[in-house]
């Protein structure tokens, strides 16, 4: 039966009207129509399209969904700190539509069954889309070319320092073996474990958290970064260096961009030693450390020059009770997925980067370097993942706003200009007017290099 005036080609699940859209061509006034999880129309659509749901985006900017490519959601095994539901809830409240979760859980994510357990746990509980890293290790190195192609795998993550057991890969033979077995871009935490062990006595003697960047000094980061880049070039493997924190690393990495991509974090871009340690104590304790202002200045310069490809939060929560342990027994890590976008929007407001550059660092960049299927831009046929922000909204970040099970943020009390208002996952509104809506709708992120891949049992 045909209903007069009904045109199915102009019927949407969601219309977003009146906003300023950040497209690959720049910013423009346009409406968006979303149907069956994808963007199906861009332009002047009001009065021409019918929709189940509408967002009035007048005065707002519509960004491609923000992708946080480094989070630690602690499930399984450490869920007193965080879990997949609370972590992804914080993500969408902060405007993040997709996350890559790290393998240092309990058990470690080293094998097919470990990955599958996380995928099963996320089903029906994750508010945003997700993928999980497999840990690169001496015990699974020869299987990594199969493991990295499993559906839901974000790739291989290697810890050269700051880890334990089978997940610590600080031996050259092990690292070369990992690099040889696989073809996807490999993510690495680059700190030199031998130097860290040698220098730990500095802080054991003093118990002073202000010496955290003295213990885990610039040289420990630079040594590891040079070492893994050289081995990756020898193996012909693409590399992604996580949370780069030093001026010296940035100078070195600028000359190795053909195969190496670079991540920085909001806390390294926003905090500086010694002030942050004096004010926050171990709440500012991260690995690699927040360093002196000259390093932060160098990270911003690297963003301006194009050396940096991605901003990831390195969300790594611990409870306040754990953080209150005497340093250096206090664990390193802080929340970050929910504050990534507000903190970076405040930097946009203060003129440190443009909104278009922020989109490249948090949406287009992750999609480009990791090969995400259908994400990272606002264009016809792409997933309708939208982060809708008010660039002039003034808010104060508080611990009470944080959804993380750990319940705190190092930015408690920080005044921000620029704020996420609505979050849309594949055409479904999951945050409307800063409030959760509906139920968790997260699904597994697909990657171009693994689409149609064989299973680990084939």
Q: Could you tell me if 263 and 310 are in contact, meaning their C-beta atoms sit under 8 angstroms apart?
A: yes
The SS3 call for residue 344 is helix
| Region at 183 (left for phi over 0; alpha for psi -120 to 50; beta for the rest) | alpha
Question: How many helices (H) does the chain have, and how many strands (E)?
Answer: 16, 17
Tokens of 297: 């200045």
Q: Omega before 107 cis (within 30°)?
A: yes
Tokens of 199: 């220098």
Asked if the domains at 8-62+380-436 and 67-370 fall in one CATH topology, the answer is no
Question: Which residues have C-beta within 8 Å of that of residue 25, sequence separation ≥ 6?
Answer: none
Which of 121, 33, 139, 35 has its CA nearest to residue 85? 121
Residue 201's alpha-carbon distances to 163, 205, 207, 330, in angstroms, are 18, 6, 10, 15
As a whole number of angstroms, the distance between CA 162 and CA 20 comes to: 43
Residue 72's alpha-carbon distances to 78, 86, 88, 421, 437, in angstroms, are 10, 12, 11, 24, 24
pLDDT at 165: 80
Domain residues of the chain, as ranges? 8-62+380-436, 67-370
pLDDT at 458: 35
Which of 226, 166, 217, 215 has its CA nearest to residue 190? 226
pLDDT at 9: 76
As a whole number of angstroms, the distance between CA 344 and CA 352 comes to: 9
As a whole number of angstroms, the distance between CA 199 and CA 294 comes to: 22
- Consecutive sets of 10 residues in the chain, 458 residues long: mean pLDDT of each? 51 97 95 97 93 97 98 98 98 98 97 98 98 97 97 97 83 96 97 96 97 98 98 97 98 97 98 98 98 98 98 98 98 98 98 98 97 97 98 98 98 98 98 97 92 44
Strand partners, 390: 419
Class for domain 8-62+380-436, per CATH?
Answer: mainly beta
As a whole number of angstroms, the distance between CA 300 and CA 307 comes to: 10
Which of 70, 92, 105, 81 has its CA nearest to residue 265? 70
Helix spans in 52-123 (H): 84-93, 112-122
Predicted TM-score (pTM) of the model is 0.95
Calculate helix-pair angle for 172-180, 218-235, nearest 10 degrees.
40
pLDDT at 87: 98
pLDDT at 180: 97
CATH number of this structure's domain 67-370: 3.20.20.140
Instruction: For tokens 């860290």, name the residue.
Output: 196
Question: Which residues have C-beta within 8 Å of that of residue 229, sequence separation ≥ 6?
Answer: 239, 241, 252, 253, 256, 260
């Amino acid at each position: 039966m045909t209903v007069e005036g009904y045109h199915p080609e102009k019927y949407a699940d969601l219309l977003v009207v009146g906003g300023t859209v950040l497209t690959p061509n720049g910013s423009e006034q346009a409406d968006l129509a979303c149907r069956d999880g994808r963007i199906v129309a861009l332009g002047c659509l009001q009065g021409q399209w019918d929709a189940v749901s509408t967002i009035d985006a007048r005065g707002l900017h519509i960004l491609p969904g923000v992708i946080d490519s480094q989070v630690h959601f602690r499930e399984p095994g450490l869920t007193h700190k965080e879990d997949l539901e609370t972590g992804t809830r914080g993500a969408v409240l902060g405007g993040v539509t997709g996350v890559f979760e790290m393998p240092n859980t309990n058990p470690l994510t080293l094998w097919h069954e470990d990955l599958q357990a996380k995928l099963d746990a996320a089903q029906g509980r994750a508010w945003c889309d997700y993928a999980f890293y497999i840990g690169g290790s001496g015990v699974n190195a020869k299987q990594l070319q199969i493991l990295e192609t499993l559906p839901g795998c974000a790739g291989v993550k290697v810890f050269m320092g700051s880890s334990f057991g089978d997940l610590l890969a600080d031996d050259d033979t092990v690292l070369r073996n990992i690099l040889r077995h696989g073809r996807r871009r490999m993510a690495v935490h680059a700190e030199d474990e031998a130097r860290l062990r040698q220098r730990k006595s500095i802080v054991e003697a003093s118990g002073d958290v202000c010496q955290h960047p003295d213990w885990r000094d610039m040289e420990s980061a630079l040594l590891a970064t040079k070492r893994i880049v050289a081995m990756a070039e020898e193996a012909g493997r693409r590399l992604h260096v996580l949370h780069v924190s030093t001026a010296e690393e940035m100078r070195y990495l600028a000359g190795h961009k053909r195969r190496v991509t670079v991540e920085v974090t909001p806390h390294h871009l926003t905090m500086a030693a010694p002030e942050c340690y004096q004010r926050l104590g171990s709440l500012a304790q991260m690995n690699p450390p927040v360093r002196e202002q000259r390093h932060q200045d160098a990270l911003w310069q690297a963003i301006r020059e194009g050396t940096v490809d991605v901003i990831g939060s390195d969300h790594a929560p611990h409870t306040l009770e754990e953080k209150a342990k005497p340093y250096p027994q206090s664990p390193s890590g802080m929340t970050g997925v929910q504050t990534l976008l507000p903190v970076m929007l405040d930097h946009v407001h203060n003129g440190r980067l443009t909104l278009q550059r922020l989109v490249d660092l948090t949406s287009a960049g992750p999609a480009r370097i990791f090969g995400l299927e259908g994400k990272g831009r606002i264009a016809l046929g792409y997933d309708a993942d939208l982060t809708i922000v008010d660039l002039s909204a003034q808010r104060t970040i508080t611990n009470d706003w944080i959804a993380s099970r750990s319940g705190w943020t190092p930015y408690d009390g920080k005044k921000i200009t620029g704020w996420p208002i609505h979050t849309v996952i594949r055409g479904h509104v999951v945050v409307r007017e800063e409030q959760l809506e509906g139920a968790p709708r997260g699904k597994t992120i697909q990657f171009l290099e693994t689409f149609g891949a064989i299973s680990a049992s084939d």
